[in-house]
Structure 1
Amino acid sequence: MITIKKATLNDLENLNLLFDAYRVFYKKESDLEASKEFLRKRIQNNESEIFVAQFSENNSEKLVGFVQLFPIFSSTRLKRFWLLNDLFVDINFRGRGISILLIEEAKKLAVQTESAGLMLETDKNNIEGNQLYPKTGFELDTEHNFYYWSE
């Protein structure tokens, strides 16, 4: 059985294993210590909302996915937006609708906080994501350019 819940510091150890796998998926070097500290700060400082998917079977529980959202603000809408920054499901649990459950939880957060909505970015080559997001109600913005600056 899969349940979705808000992550707490009690989930940090198991969440960190997923988060590190997520980073490795995006071609970053594994760094369990740094990723754990990153997550700890986000949770302690209430700088993000993290929801986890928990698989329960035979009296054992395992975290198998997560979504992390960061608040940003729209001056023109005078409201908060939620940036769906990270979404990941353990490779052994994909194809079970867990990503959809996590996205639905993110949508609930957006409604509960009376935000302007959710936004996300994904690579044009992310076949799974580019099929998943429209399936869950996201629309591709083809009218705006996305720029970034990095040092």
Structure 2
Amino acid sequence: MSDQPIRFPDLSARPHELAVERVMSASPGLLYAALTQGFDIWFAAPGSVLMKPAVNEPFFFETEHAGIRYPHYGRFLRLEPERIVQLTWVTGADGTEGAETVVTMELVNQPRGIRLRLRHEGFPTEEARDRHLAAWPLVLEQLDHRTSADN
């Protein structure tokens, strides 16, 4: 699929976005692998991930909370090993409300670890954005915990 041009979602009618950051303990290589092929290590339900780390490749995984399954769909837009992962992110009514949003995760070296800068844009409503603004710090904390050398 990489021969095809990348079709970036039109976010012009969906202006709501968020940004969060966290200093991570793991190496850029380990974080990059977790963000492109190891979602079931830190986020997705085990056995639910269909993901190939290649630009324009679609992916699928589920999360589970209180016995309810939440499907997530997307495709990779940009991959720069150990630096940038950009993907589309589509979930249902309790997530992106079916809108194709864009998540960009940048890994920046700094003296005390790797700063993960996450930008999530294209939410159709403030409520959808606010749900993700509350969730992303917890998700990044889980990523950090599951990829840290202490674990």
TM-score scaled by structure 1?
Answer: 0.36
Higher strand share: 2
Higher helix share: 1
